[in-house]
């Protein structure tokens, strides 16, 4: 059976990483996590947004206050950052082409990079080289503010993201997470995935 590519999108602090871990733990096929957090850990400090005085953050990634919105920040992506996002997309495709399943734990809020990944994944789907599922988590601002206080990412990103267009124009599944705990969200996604991709429950041996 073709490898699974599960893309989980949504604003910062929406629960993407927690959900990714839950699906990895339940799955009977190995799914490698790859997404923005993994990419940012690879970025040299001076191309990242979190280091004071980073000399190349204008080329890579930098945090900026959003004018007129107190306490709200965004990530500005420079030309080197866009190249890095494109490289991440190519790495996801390469893993799938090698037969390895992947969970993409969040795309950037960069339409050009996201269209690039979706076009690559659609082509793999047409070739039956991968089973692709794009999921969007939605959360109200009030809920996000509460979650953001307990989140390791810089305060303010969540509310900025929640006002931006979704990373995917046509997700396959949208989950409204308001009022749901992490286990309930995982149950919703797991039940849907098990119908779409039975090997996730049974493992590859039973599909031969």
pLDDT reported for residue 103: 98
pLDDT reported for residue 154: 55
Give the chain's mean pLDDT: 90
pLDDT reported for residue 12: 85
Q: Which residue has the higher pLDDT, 147 or 90?
A: 90
Question: What topology is assigned to 4-42+84-207 in CATH?
Answer: Rossmann fold (3.40.50)
- pLDDT tens profile 122-157: 999 999 999 999 999 998 887 777 776 666 655 578
Q: Which residue has the tokens 């080289």?
A: 129
Q: According to the per-residue pLDDT averaged within each range, which of 95-99, 105-109, 169-173 is highest?
A: 95-99
> 137 pairs with which residues across the strands?
175
Interval 180-195 mean pLDDT: 96
Distance CA 109, CA 95 (A): 23
Residue 3: in which H helix or E strand, if any? none
pLDDT reported for residue 208: 42
Instruction: Determine contact, residues 72/81, Cβ cutoff 8 Å.
Output: no
Q: Which residues contact 76 (CB under 8 A, 6 or more apart)?
A: 49, 61, 62, 63, 64
pTM of the model: 0.90
Q: Is the pLDDT of residue 101 over 50?
A: yes
Distance CA 139, CA 130 (A): 29
pLDDT reported for residue 112: 94
pLDDT reported for residue 159: 80
- pLDDT tens profile 45-73: 999 977 888 999 999 999 888 888 877 88
Domain coordinates of the chain in residue numbers?
Answer: 4-42+84-207
Burial 166-201 (b: 16+ CB within 10 A, else e): bbbeebebebebeebeeeebbebbbeebeeebebbe
Instruction: Determine contact, residues 16/134, Cβ cutoff 8 Å.
Output: no
Q: CB-based burial of residue 41 (10 Å sphere; 0-12 exposed, 13-18 middle, 19+ buried)?
A: exposed
């Amino acid at each position: 059976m073709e490898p699974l590519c599960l893309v989980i999108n949504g604003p910062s602090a929406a629960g993407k990483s927690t959900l990714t871990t839950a699906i990895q733990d339940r799955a009977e096929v190995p799914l490698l996590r790859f997404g923005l957090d993994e990419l940012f850990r690879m970025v040299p400090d001076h191309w990242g947004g979190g280091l004071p005085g980073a000399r190349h953050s204008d080329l890579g990634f930098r945090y900026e206050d959003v004018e007129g919105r107190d306490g709200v920040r965004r990530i500005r992506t420079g030309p080197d950052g866009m190249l890095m996002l494109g490289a991440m997309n190519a790495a996801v495709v390469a893993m799938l082409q090698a037969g390895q399943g992947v969970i993409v734990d969040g795309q950037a809020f960069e339409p050009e990079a996201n269209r690039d990944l979706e076009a690559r994944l659609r082509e793999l789907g047409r070739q039956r080289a991968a089973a692709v599922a794009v999921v969007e988590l939605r959360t109200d601002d009030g809920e996000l503010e509460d979650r953001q206080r307990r989140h390791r990412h810089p305060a303010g990103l969540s509310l900025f993201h929640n006002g931006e267009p979704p990373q995917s124009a046509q997700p396959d599944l949208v989950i409204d997470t308001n009022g749901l705990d992490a286990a309930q969200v995982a149950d919703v996604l797991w039940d849907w995935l098990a119908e779409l991709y039975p090997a996730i429950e049974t493992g590859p041996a039973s599909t031969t």
